[in-house]
Amino acid sequence: MIRENLMAELNEQIKFEIFSENLYLAMAAYCADQDLDGFANFFKIQAEEEKFHAMKIFDYIIERDGRARISAIDEPQNDFASILDAFQKAYEHEQFVTKRIDTLMDLAIEERDHATVSFLKWFVDEQVEEESLFRGLIAKLERIGENSAALHMLDAELAQRTFTPEDDA
């Protein structure tokens, strides 16, 4: 069984993952409003991933004979200055999530909860991928600048993104 303080922090992470899902849905809505359906698709897929992350933690808590708890979340930001601004805000958010995962890992190590350390390694690796993805897209958007043709090419590329949960996740 997971110790109470670690379980409380894992439950808090569920809250942050659900907040992330809502934030990315808000960003998808903003992109759709800008007639950039590919960007909207990117953020909808991102929202699906965040829900998957929340459920992964939810299921883990239950598997370890704990009690998963769902708490209220704040309203996410819904308006952005630009597509680039939305991606910069998303990147900042992912950096925040990385710090949360690192704190969870530190606590699991401190508690000598080897099962939770093993479980959290997946999230550590996932956050490396998430931050890299957003940094790369921000760099592309900065290079694109005001080039509408390039923006629409990237929009078409992002329209192809899909979500496939990993078998071993």
Classify residue 166: in a domain, yes or no.
Answer: no
Structural domain tally of the chain? 1
Classify residue 168: in a domain, yes or no.
Answer: no
3 state SS of 5? helix
Classify residue 85: in a domain, yes or no.
Answer: yes
Looking at residue 169, its pLDDT comes to 43
Classify residue 20: in a domain, yes or no.
Answer: yes
Classify residue 164: in a domain, yes or no.
Answer: no
Q: Using 50 as the pLDDT threshold, list the residues of the chain that sit under it.
A: 168-169
DSSP states of 48-112? HHHHHHHHHHHHHHHHTT--------PPPP---SSHHHHHHHHHHHHHHHHHHHHHHHHHHHHTT
Looking at residue 107, its pLDDT comes to 97
Looking at residue 14, its pLDDT comes to 98
pTM of the predicted model as reported, rounded to 2 decimal places: 0.94
Classify residue 139: in a domain, yes or no.
Answer: yes
Give the residue numbers spanning the domain of 96.
4-68+79-158
Which CATH number is 141's domain given? 1.20.1260.10
Looking at residue 167, its pLDDT comes to 53
Looking at residue 106, its pLDDT comes to 98
